[in-house]
Structure 1
Amino acid sequence: MVYTDFNKAFDLIDYEVLIKILSSYGFGEPFLSWLTSYLSDRYQWVNIFGTKSKLFLASSGVPQGGHLSFLLFSLFVDNISRVLCHSRILCFADVIKLFLHVGSIDDCLHLQNDLDRFVNGFKNIDLSLNVSKCKIFTYTRSRSPIIYSYNILGSEILHANESVIDLGFKLTSSLDPRPHIDMVCCKALKILGFINRLARDFKLNSSFKLLYCTLIQPILEYGVVVWSPFT
């Protein structure tokens, strides 16, 4: 599986290209005019320790953290999947992964070919990959998996050896859930220690319960259906 990472993904979306893509999907007026007004003529400034920069016009991009931003980016890159001939694609906002069952060197070449098509497709819409943060990870139980040096524009992609973090899950090549469970427990225990220090003088049990439900329970229950039950 190829894990990709973009350079300033949300900041480089071209407004005109986005509107054309949305129009091709059947979006019409007055929505397109409203969206154009929403995205254009936005000004930004930088604040560093109280020192503010001058206002500058944001000529591209969608507001990071906006309710529509993830959806707009997903629609912006959706056509890229159509250029792939052999592999398949998984998308969640700007987290995009290519995968293919590899049983021979020919399969490796097919994946590399699709990766080249993938990269060229993004060049056409002025998006680029951060090769240093892209990585290859192999899901297999084989002790001697096929290893191939994949590259992006001539730069080799690093292989993640033991595990990879995928949407908050720590995954191993054999999909053993124990490393993820250990990571979750460690994170929850750190927060629990913080709560104990912070709330040692609290007298109401309801206060502890509120802190637990707010800070710890979401950590323990995130994606629990993926690995629970497990003994």
Structure 2
Amino acid sequence: MLQVLFQVSLSQASIPVEWKTEITIYKKGEENKAENYRPVSLTSVTCKMLEHIKCSNIMRHLEDDCALYRNIRKEKDAIKLQKDLEALQQWEGNWLMEFHHKKCQVLHVTNKRKCVEYPYNIHGHTLEVVDSAKYIRVNIHKSLKWAQHINQIPKKANSTSACLRRNINQCPRETKALCYKTLVRPLLEYAGVIWDPHTAENINKIEMVQRRAARMVMNDFRTTSSVSNMIQQLNWPLLQERRAQARSIMM
């Protein structure tokens, strides 16, 4: 039945009126500008299923984030990069797309005190030069050091873990452990093979999130209790060990 409904909707390029309810949510920036709001649809599960099917297939051919890079040694290399930007603008026009210049940034990945500077621009707007930029949810610093990215990981993971503690505190241990593995641990491991820390300080920052989660799952917050024993009872490997395993698989 759903297949027939989806086929009719796609063939007629229309959906029921009941599926078209949406609201806008403020993201960041100036509140009086439309681009700082995100539309969120409030629709049926059936419509969400169709949306997921379409998006999954479209994303095979179109990536939301785009990076353009070139090894810059002299000014002529920078000019070539600007020509690449101009070719990209031609491409977006052919595909009825548009790059927002305020969301485009220039990142010089180098350890040199002085690098080749050039006024890269899109649509006549000079692009902002930054020390770090986010690409596919990973913060890349110009020095390729990962301290800034690692500092942000526990904040989001702890926030999610605190939400779980408030809402599933009375659930069975197995349920809380499953929620941690599903909703929190992926935040601690996303792209871990790239930013895998080597200093004890940064390693501990990540491990502390799991240690707090172990207390939540075991419902034991006594200062005299051993968190290491809790983690052993839960049969959770250290996150450092999981990253090492992931790196081995990647290689």
Scaled by the length of structure 2, what TM-score is found?
Answer: 0.58
Aligned residue in 2 for 1:114: 84
Aligned residue in 1 for 2:196: 228
Measured after TM superposition, the shift of residue 48 of structure 1 is 4.4
Higher relative contact order (CA 8 A, sep 6+): 1
Measured after TM superposition, the shift of residue 124 of structure 1 is 2.6
2:101 to 102, 108, 131: 131
Root-mean-square deviation (CA, aligned residues, Å) is: 2.6
Aligned residue in 2 for 1:94: 64
Aligned residue in 2 for 1:31: none
Kindly tell me: are residues 208 and 102 of structure 1, through their superposed partners in 2, closer, same or farther at Cα, counting changes over 3 Å?
same
State whether structure 2 residue 177 is matched by structure 1 residue 209.
Answer: yes
For 1:197 and 1:40, the matched residues in 2 are separated by 45
Aligned residue in 1 for 2:236: none
1:175 to 144, 169, 177: 144
Measured after TM superposition, the shift of residue 132 of structure 1 is 2.0
Aligned residue in 2 for 1:104: 74
Aligned residue in 2 for 1:195: 164
For 2:82 and 2:145, the matched residues in 1 are separated by 27
| Secondary structure at the counterpart of residue 103 of structure 1 | coil
Aligned residue in 2 for 1:5: none
State whether structure 2 residue 12 is matched by structure 1 residue 41.
Answer: yes
1:150 to 113, 120, 127: 120
5+ unaligned residues in a row in structure 2: which ranges? 1-7, 24-50, 200-251
Q: Is the 8 Å Cα contact of residues 146 and 197 (structure 2) preserved in structure 1?
A: no
- The more displaced of 165-174 and 204-213 is 204-213
| Secondary structure at the counterpart of residue 96 of structure 1 | coil
Alignment of structure 1 residues 20-39 onto 2, 5 Å: none
Measured after TM superposition, the shift of residue 40 of structure 1 is 5.2
Return the letter of the residue paired with 1:116: E
For 2:83 and 2:159, the matched residues in 1 are separated by 44
Measured after TM superposition, the shift of residue 134 of structure 1 is 1.5
For 1:70 and 1:48, the matched residues in 2 are separated by 22
For residues 58-79 of structure 1, what are the alpha-carbon distances to aligned partners after superposition, in whole Å with 9 as ceiling and x for unaligned? xxxxx675221112x34xxxxx
Kindly tell me: are residues 123 and 135 of structure 1, through their superposed partners in 2, closer, same or farther at Cα, counting changes over 3 Å?
same
Kindly tell me: are residues 194 and 125 of structure 1, through their superposed partners in 2, closer, same or farther at Cα, counting changes over 3 Å?
closer
Going by fraction, where is strand more abundant, 1 or 2? 1
Return the letter of the residue paired with 2:162: G
5+ unaligned residues in a row in structure 1: which ranges? 1-36, 50-62, 75-92
For 1:148 and 1:229, the matched residues in 2 are separated by 33
Return the letter of the residue paired with 2:108: T
Going by fraction, where is helix more abundant, 1 or 2? 2
State whether structure 2 residue 111 is matched by structure 1 residue 141.
Answer: yes
For 1:157 and 1:41, the matched residues in 2 are separated by 42
Kindly tell me: are residues 145 and 124 of structure 1, through their superposed partners in 2, closer, same or farther at Cα, counting changes over 3 Å?
same
For 1:135 and 1:220, the matched residues in 2 are separated by 26
Matched pairs, number: 163
Q: Which has the larger radius of gyration?
A: 2
Return the letter of the residue paired with 2:128: L
Percent identity for Structure 1 against Structure 2: 24
